[in-house]
Amino acid sequence: MIRRIVVAALVALTTAAVAPLGAAAHAAPLQPVPRVDLPRYLGVWHQVAANPAPFNIDCVRDTTARYSLIDSRTIRVKNSCTTVTGAKRSIVGRARVNGPASLHVSFPGVPGQSTVDGPSNYLVAYIADDYSWALVGDPTRLSGFVLSRSGSVDRATWRSIRSVVERKGYNSCLMLTSPVTGGLRDIRPLCTV
């Protein structure tokens, strides 16, 4: 499993070196959608693709986010995954609503994310009309996550996901798929799906 993760990361970096960088290099900051229906957005989301990040590098499958309302401006965030050793890992934090589709997410003990209030670091950049999947990220696009209500994504939806990811200024060759039970089982650059 560890070997597959290293190989996937090397493939992503190699592919990105020969692929056009797209608009992200000089793009304006990522913008949120005009509005998210918060009650519809709450619940469980499966991560089906993401930009690799140090805080989730040991998460190798079944990464989920569960959002529940604390009050009108605060959401409980519980992120969970299965690690490279097969153990389950989770962290609980809070998200403060800063705008119709922008949040400041914080986790206790995480450097730079320990306070509930702050600038938006979680923007809903795209949401499907039926709320079946979403693209979220930060204004600089260092983080990027494709979330789905179901772990299983069909071929047509994968094409839509890739198109939206690229249109929103991300390099789809740097974003990696996330293995999900019942969905894709391997890690590969989104541009190859």
* Reported confidence tier of residue 26, pLDDT bands at 50, 70, 90: low
Among 96, 52, 48, which Cα is nearest to 107's? 96
Q: How many domains does the chain have?
A: 1
Domain containing 46: what range? 2-192
Give the model's pLDDT for residue 173.
97
- Given a cut of 70, whether residue 23 has pLDDT beyond it is no
pLDDT 10s digits, 97-152: 999 999 999 999 887 788 889 999 999 999 999 999 999 999 999 999 999 999 99
Q: Across all residues in the chain, what is the average pLDDT?
A: 88
pLDDT at residue 20, as a whole number: 40
Residue 160's domain is classified under what CATH number?
2.40.128.20
Task: List, as own/partner pairs, every contact residues 10-17 make where C-beta atoms lie below 8 angstroms and the sequence separation is at least 24, other chains included.
Answer: 11/188, 11/189, 12/52, 12/173, 12/174, 12/176, 12/189, 15/173, 15/189, 15/191, 15/192, 16/171, 16/173, 16/174, 16/189
pLDDT for 89-108, tens place per residue? Answer: 999 999 999 999 999 999 99
